[in-house]
Chain A
Amino acid sequence: AQSVSQHNHHVILSEAASLELGCNYSYGGTVNLFWYVQYPGQHLQLLLKYFSGDPLVKGIKGFEAEFIKSKFSFNLRKPSVQWSDTAEYFCAVIRTGANNLFFGTGTRLTVIP
């Protein structure tokens, strides 16, 4: 069965620290990959996505993610976090041609001013 793993449940960083959130998925076929963010009290918003092409994708607010097919990974990075990045981050995977988006359990990021 298809699954998505986010190994970090809660990450606490100081402002200006670098961020990397891990995401691994288990599906051998072609996939589309997403990172969504949920700020406190708000709805899920798309940060970035990978469908094809350059495996290093850039999203909003300075986030980027790298798709490494051999490792089944799609880690999220940001070189310098801000207090406003405090939120829950969800990795999600969908098999190309399908409609079922599989989510990881989420990583809560707390940035301390």
Chain B
Amino acid sequence: DAMVIQNPRYQVTQFGKPVTLSCSQTLNHNVMYWYQQKSSQAPKLLFHYYDKDFNNEADTPDNFQSRRPNTSFCFLDIRSPGLGDAAMYLCATSRTSGGHRSTDTQYFGPGTRLTVL
């Protein structure tokens, strides 16, 4: 009964070689997030989708893109991975509550650990 699923759990890529990480959810939540977590650091929000609206954090590098083809799926594309992009990438989902843009608890997937050679 997994709720937020991330594939693959481990991804190895080469410097500069594009890579795509995927996330799917069975919760029917309308908000999906991508976080980056480097070793011994706090998770850091890269961007999120509020329904189909894409919201990029100001300091997210252009190298990172995202797609959300439908409610259940969201992808993280790293166009030209550098050594500094090696990290755990966490997907999370939540739903809005109260009829406005406030969101409820975020539910996290297991993460994809990205290694860049």
Contacts and interface: CB of A to CB of B under 8 A. Distances in A.
A99 B105 contact: no
A5 to B, nearest CB: 10
Interface string A69-113: 000000000000000000000100010111111111110000000
A74 to B, nearest CB: 15
Interface in B37-58: 40-45, 48, 50, 55, 57
B101 A100 contact: no
Given A97-B100, A99-B31, A105-B40, A34 B110 contact: no
B70 interface: no
Contacts of B57: 100
Contacts of A34: 105
B31 A44 contact: no
B89 to A, nearest CB: 12
Given A46-B105, A49-B105, A99 B33 contact: yes
B80 interface: no
A90 B42 contact: yes
Given A99-B31, A99-B48, A99-B103, A44 B108 contact: yes
Contact of A99 (B43, B101, B109, B111): B101
B48 to A, nearest CB: 5
A112 to B, nearest CB: 22
A4 interface: yes
A99 B108 contact: no
Nearest to A36: B108
Contact of B101 (A46, A49, A97): A97
B107 interface: yes
Interface of B: 4, 31, 33, 40-45, 48, 50, 55, 57, 90, 92, 94, 100-103, 105-111
Q: Across chains A and B, which 5 residue pairs bring their CB atoms closest together, nearest first?
A: A103-B42, A44-B108, A43-B110, A105-B42, A103-B43
20 contacts: A42-B110, A43-B90, A43-B109, A43-B110, A43-B111, A44-B90, A45-B108, A90-B43, A94-B103, A97-B100, A97-B102, A99-B31, A99-B55, A99-B94, A99-B103, A100-B45, A101-B106, A103-B44, A104-B42, A105-B41
